[in-house]
Amino acid sequence: MFSRSSLVAKSLSRHVAAHQRRFASTKTIKEALGEVIPAKQARLRQFKAEHGQAVLGEVKVEHVIGGMRGLKAMLWESSVLDPMEASLIGIRFHGLTIPDCQKVLPAAPGGKEIIAESMLWLLLTGKVPTEAETRQLSRELAERGELPDYIVQLLDSLPTTLHPMTQLGMAVAALNKESAFAAAYERGIKKSEYWTYALEDSLNLLARLPAIAARIFRNVYAPEKPIASLDKDLDLVGNYVNMLGYGDNQDLTEYLRLYIAIHGDHEGGNASAHTAHLVGSTLSDPYLAYSAALFALAGPLHGLANQEVLRWQLNMQKEIGDNVSHDDIKEFLWRTLKSGQVVPGYGHGVLRNPDPRFIALQQFCETRPELLKDPVIQLVKKTYDVAPAVLKEHGKTKNPYPNVDAASGCVLYHYGLTQFKYYTVIFGVSRALGAITQLVWARALGLPIERPKSLSMDAMESIIKSS
Question: Which residues are the active-site residues?
Answer: 302, 348, 405
User: How crowded is residue 386: how many other Cβ atoms within 10 Å of its Cβ?
Assistant: 18
> What is d(CA 143, CA 146) in angstroms, rounded to the nearest whole number?
7
Q: Which of 134, 79, 82 is nearest to 106 (CA)?
A: 134
With H, G, I as helix, E, B as strand and everything else as coil, classify residue 107: strand
With H, G, I as helix, E, B as strand and everything else as coil, classify residue 402: strand
Q: Are 164 and 420 in contact (CB under 8 A)?
A: no
Q: What is the DSSP track for 321-332? A: -SS--HHHHHHH
With H, G, I as helix, E, B as strand and everything else as coil, classify residue 81: strand
Amino acid sitting at position 214? A
DSSP 452: P
C-alpha dist (Å) from residue 294 to 279, 288, 425, 430, 431:
12, 10, 9, 11, 9
C-alpha dist (Å) from residue 85 to 259, 351, 355:
21, 8, 10
Indicate the angle between helix axes 271-280 and 423-444, nearest 10 degrees. Answer: 40
Cα 361 from chain centre: 16
Q: At CA 110, angle to CA 108 and CA 112, rounded to 5?
A: 65
Q: Which residues have C-beta within 8 Å of that of residue 109, sequence separation ≥ 6?
A: 135
Q: What does the chain come to in residues? A: 467
Q: Are 425 and 216 in contact (CB under 8 A)?
A: yes
Amino acid sitting at position 123? L
